[in-house]
Amino acid sequence: MTHRDIRVRRIYDPAEAGDGIRVLVDRVWPRGIRKEVAALDEWVKDVAPSTELRKWYGHVPEKFAQFEARYRDELATPVARTALDHLRTLAKDDALTLLTATRDVDHSQAAVLAALLREPR
């Protein structure tokens, strides 16, 4: 996998030809978007951070490093690990675009997931 094979985008942005497999990685369905318009291939809720962690973080950039550490711990649980392995499998054969409703995608769970997926195993 190369870095360009995994993208992070907002679900509200229009799909692009190079997106490959489009996967929503939020636990909650994004407001104001219909499933038909979302142009996604899968919704992998089990890889999203817990509600408690998401509420604690509140998308405050100053908390991002601590959020990332806590989120990586959550991703070690069996259910989340299975979901993460599924994303790895999807990324092997095609480009993978991780979708989130978050405005600041650079400080989101999708950015953490993309970094994890880019790491050698």
* Structure tokens that stand for 92 in this block: 């092997």
Angle at 96 between CA 1 and CA 52, to 5 degrees: 110
pLDDT digits (tens, 9 = 90+) for 84-105: 999 999 999 889 999 999 999 9
Give me the pLDDT at residue 93, please. Answer: 83
Give me the pLDDT at residue 36, please. Answer: 82
Give me the pLDDT at residue 4, please. Answer: 52
- pLDDT score of 120 more than 90: no
Q: What is the DSSP letter of 32?
A: T
Please give the biggest Cα pair distance in the chain: 37
pLDDT digits (tens, 9 = 90+) for 70-89: 999 999 999 999 999 999 99
Residue 25's nearest CA partner among 73, 69, 90 is 90
Give me the pLDDT at residue 3, please. Answer: 46
- pLDDT score of 1 more than 50: no
Give, rounded to a whole angstrom, the gap between the first and last alpha carbons of the chain: 11
